[in-house]
Chains A and B, each alone.
Chain A
Amino acid sequence: DAGVTQSPTHLIKTRGQQVTLRCSPKSGHDTVSWYQQALGQGPQFIFQYYEEEERQRGNFPDRFSGHQFPNYSSELNVNALLLGDSALYLCASSPDKMNTEAFFGQGTRLTVV
């Protein structure tokens, strides 16, 4: 079992550009959630995808959007990048059942310059 995998591991973008981050869930998991972790802070919930639809969203602007594919993998897109979007982006997967454990990927470290 490969666990949750994310790509790329590191990325440098220029302010104003757009970025796409990718996540493959753990085998047997169909729900994917995305988190942003700024330096020195805990991860902040961005949104959750299930059955190819956004099911729940945290307090993030519409510049943050996502997609889930039929194989349950997911993308996070961020438009019009700001310097403040520099962070570690984490993906988590879980089965769509109540009270189940979430597992995280190794993250993508995004730097906006």
Chain B
Amino acid sequence: GIQVEQSPPDLILQEGANSTLRCNFSDSVNNLQWFHQNPWGQLINLFYIPSGTKQNGRLSATTVATERYSLLYISSSQTTDSGVYFCAVPYSGGGADGLTFGKGTHLIIQP
């Protein structure tokens, strides 16, 4: 199956800082999702972004499908941004598959 690698594994920043999280995947995919997992375990949908760039407030994401990576940008970080960020792609590349997740980036925003 597809391999998904996320970097960095851990990131500690001060409130107000900007950050870039990276997701590399090993094969062609036709969808990609970014999630934020809150302390209670709920996976919150951030972006569905098979290609191109999307923005939602202080967050934006870019996927370059031909080069097999995606980036999540967080600007002007707030303490509520803390948590684990996951990217996920279809299990075998097909659009209706279950998802393969990376190991996540654990983000801590300090006041």
Q: Which residues of A contact B92 (CB under 8 A)?
A: 56
Stretch of B13-21, B36-44, B56-64, B67-75 at the chain-chain interface: B36-44
CB distance from A46 to the nearest CB of B (A): 8
Q: Are B40 and A101 in contact (CB under 8 A)?
A: no
Q: Are A58 and B98 in contact (CB under 8 A)?
A: yes
Q: Could you tell me which residues of chain A, from 24 to 68, have a CB within 8 Å of some CB in chain B?
A: 31, 33, 35, 37, 41-45, 47-48, 56, 58
Interface centre among A41, A92, A99 (most CB of B within 10 A): A99
In the assembled complex, 11 residue pairs joining A and B whose CB atoms fall closer than 8 Å, in A order, are: A35-B98, A42-B104, A44-B101, A58-B91, A92-B99, A99-B30, A99-B50, A102-B33, A104-B35, A106-B41, A109-B41
Task: Mark A residues whose CB is within 8 Å of B.
Answer: 31, 33, 35, 37, 41-45, 47-48, 56, 58, 88, 90, 92, 94, 96-104, 106-107, 109
